[in-house]
């Protein structure tokens, strides 16, 4: 009986020491081949396979210990695929938390105002970490791939901004987001007009000589929307109409360089028309 008590006590001591060593390991900085260390985790990876991938890419991480850390903390099934970064001083516990949150390393590409579609494509081709999936696609094919209606010209259809992306994203991913951002702003301008009793006043569906002709599609005369779309709407257009951007713009006018100028008031809009259409200094 006394022997069993001693054996049990010894077992508890060993267990306590093992637990202490495990906690100590989980909070020790990971040794790196280089710092910071960028690495990727493949989709569908378990905690064990993710740790094996990380170790193969230059981090001194013990896969089995990392697996048990993830399992005991309840994070075993929460590992997110993607691109991450380990900096000097990062511990296995912090790394696990970041991977469970999907706190990936993000890169950025900026699309300035006034750029043409071709300039935008050239910038994306040079952006680091992007999959270059445009290949020999024509502008028409690119627009179709990102969800634009058939025969939509590319100029002026993308919102100039800085776009963040994870390493491994594609050029089409960025273009799709820029296109959707512009669609939401256009939808917001029309949505803002409805409460004020304004018509859509969109002259893309009529010619100048038709401005005074009463038809269901002359939105300068009728209030509300025309009975049907003037073209087959794409998924991005439908989503933009359902979820317009949170802006107050009522008006917009083409700048003549592929971009649009949005205005909150009629005075601002008239000034924009004078500047970009009438070329008044």
The reply to whether 226 and 155 lie within a common domain is yes
pLDDT in tens, 86-121: 888 989 999 999 989 888 888 899 988 878 889 999
d(CA 37, CA 43): 19
d(CA 261, CA 223): 23
Q: What is the mean pLDDT of the chain?
A: 80
Structural domains counted in the chain: 2
The reply to whether 58 and 129 lie within a common domain is no
Largest CA distance in the chain: 106
d(CA 91, CA 66): 11
The reply to whether 54 and 146 lie within a common domain is no
**């005075």: which residue's tokens?**
267
CA 44 to chain centre: 21
Q: What pLDDT was estimated at residue 168?
A: 81
The reply to whether 94 and 116 lie within a common domain is no
pLDDT in tens, 10-58: 677 777 777 788 788 888 998 888 888 888 888 888 889 989 988 998 8
What 3-state class would DSSP assign to 134? coil
What 3-state class would DSSP assign to 174? helix
The reply to whether 231 and 190 lie within a common domain is yes
**pLDDT-derived band of residue 192, with 50, 70 and 90 as boundaries?**
low
Q: Residue 255's domain spans which residues?
A: 108-276
Q: What pLDDT was estimated at residue 178?
A: 92
In a domain, 8, yes or no: no
d(CA 193, CA 197): 6
């Amino acid at each position: 009986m006394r022997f069993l008590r001693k054996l049990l006590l010894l077992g508890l001591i060993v267990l306590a020491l093992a637990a202490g060593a495990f906690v100590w390991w989980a909070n020790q900085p990971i040794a790196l081949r280089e710092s910071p260390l960028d690495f990727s985790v493949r989709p569908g990876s378990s905690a064990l396979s993710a740790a094996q991938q990380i170790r193969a890419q230059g981090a001194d991480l013990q896969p089995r210990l990392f697996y048990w850390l993830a399992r005991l903390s309840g994070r075993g099934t929460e590992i997110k695929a993607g691109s991450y970064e380990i900096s000097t001083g990062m511990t296995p516990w912090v790394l696990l938390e970041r991977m469970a949150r999907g706190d990936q390393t993000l890169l950025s590409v900026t699309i300035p105002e006034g750029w043409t579609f071709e300039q935008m494509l050239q910038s994306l081709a040079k952006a680091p970490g992007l999959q270059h999936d445009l290949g020999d696609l024509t502008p028409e094919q690119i627009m179709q791939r990102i969800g634009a209606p058939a025969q939509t010209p590319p100029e002026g259809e993308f919102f100039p901004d800085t776009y963040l992306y994870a390493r491994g994203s594609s050029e089409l991913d960025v273009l799709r987001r820029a296109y959707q951002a512009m669609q939401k702003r256009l939808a917001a301008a029309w949505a803002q007009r409805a409460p004020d009793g304004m018509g859509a006043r969109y002259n893309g569906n009529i010619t100048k000589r038709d401005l005074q002709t009463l038809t269901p599609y002359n939105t300068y005369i009728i209030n509300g929307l025309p009975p049907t779309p003037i073209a087959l709407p794409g998924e991005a257009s439908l989503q933009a109409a359902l979820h317009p951007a949170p802006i107050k713009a009522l008006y917009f006018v083409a700048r003549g360089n592929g971009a649009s100028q949005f205005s909150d008031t009629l005075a601002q809009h008239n000034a924009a028309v004078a500047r970009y259409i009438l070329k008044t200094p």
